[in-house]
Amino acid sequence: MASNIANVSATNTPTETDPSCEEPVNNNNQSENDSESSALDDLLADSKIYYNNAKQYWSNVAPTVDGMLGGFGSISFIDIRGSEQFLKHLYKQKPAPGRNRALDCGAGIGRISKNLLLPMFDHVDLVEQDEQFCQTARTELADYGSKLGTVFNEGLQNFIPEQGRYDVIWAQWVLSHLTDEDMVQFFNRCGEALARGGMIVIKENFTTGNVVDVDRTDSSVTRPLLQMKQLLKQANMRVVKEQRQTSFPKELYPVYMLALRPTIKK
């Protein structure tokens, strides 16, 4: 599983004022769609190879903030501030989540746990597939003492969180490494892992059209926002708040934050 990274769009460089960033647009170029679909099918032909390739890629990435963010370490402060404001708005929801325990998914070296979750929650668990990143996170977050919970060294496609444990589950720049099927199953498990009133928050890159962008370098896919919402519906998740991250460099994909709750209330 990946850690936190802001992938650069090689073909789409929308600005903050580009109206195409607000809603997915139709792409009527059938040959382009067929080509992208073929590339995606080829990449996902063997999920074991797909996940192993991603694991191999991340094993060669430096355990630093710049490494986690694909060379865009300078956006970390803006990213955290945007997430912080979004999270604070969620506590105006009724019922609001608790503040006992959060889960950081695809946690990398603990950048989000350190700067966002640990200051806001009594306890934070992390899940990260790269062993070196896990060790770095334990070292970086050692000063938080008992507030730092368990650091699970496991990929999200296999991770099974404890039922009813988490007030907030945060997944950022990691879902692009899950296949559609595994992502639906992941959200199903996360729904079971929420405490009463709990929420899942995803923060991800999205394409501006209706075509999935394939990245063979790190074995990932960037989905359209509409497709993500369709997968969430399959996983019996509803979006309770949606917001676009602002002030990122224009060469990055549009990034949206979605707060989710299970369709079926506990």
pLDDT tens profile 31-73: 555 555 565 566 666 788 999 999 999 999 999 999 999 999 9
Contact between residue 16 and residue 90 where contact means Cβ atoms under 8 Å apart: no
pLDDT at site 24: 38
Q: Per-domain residue ranges for the chain? A: 41-262
Enumerate residue ranges in the chain where pLDDT < 70: 1-45, 265-266
Q: How many residues does the chain have?
A: 266
pLDDT at site 18: 34
Contact between residue 134 and residue 109 where contact means Cβ atoms under 8 Å apart: no
132 known member of a binding site: no
Three-state DSSP class for residue 265: coil
172 known member of a binding site: yes
Only one residue has tokens 């950081």, namely: 104
Alpha helices in 151-249 (DSSP H): 180-193, 225-234
How far is the first Cα of the chain from the last one, in angstroms, to the nearest whole number? Answer: 29
30 known member of a binding site: no
pLDDT at site 215: 93
pLDDT at site 28: 47
Of the candidates 18, 1, 11, the residue with the CA atom closest to the CA atom of residue 248: 18
165 known member of a binding site: no
pLDDT at site 194: 98
pLDDT at site 37: 59
93 known member of a binding site: no
pLDDT at site 22: 37
Report the CATH architecture of 41-262: 3-Layer(aba) Sandwich (3.40)
pLDDT at site 169: 99
Of the candidates 206, 95, 103, the residue with the CA atom closest to the CA atom of residue 148: 103
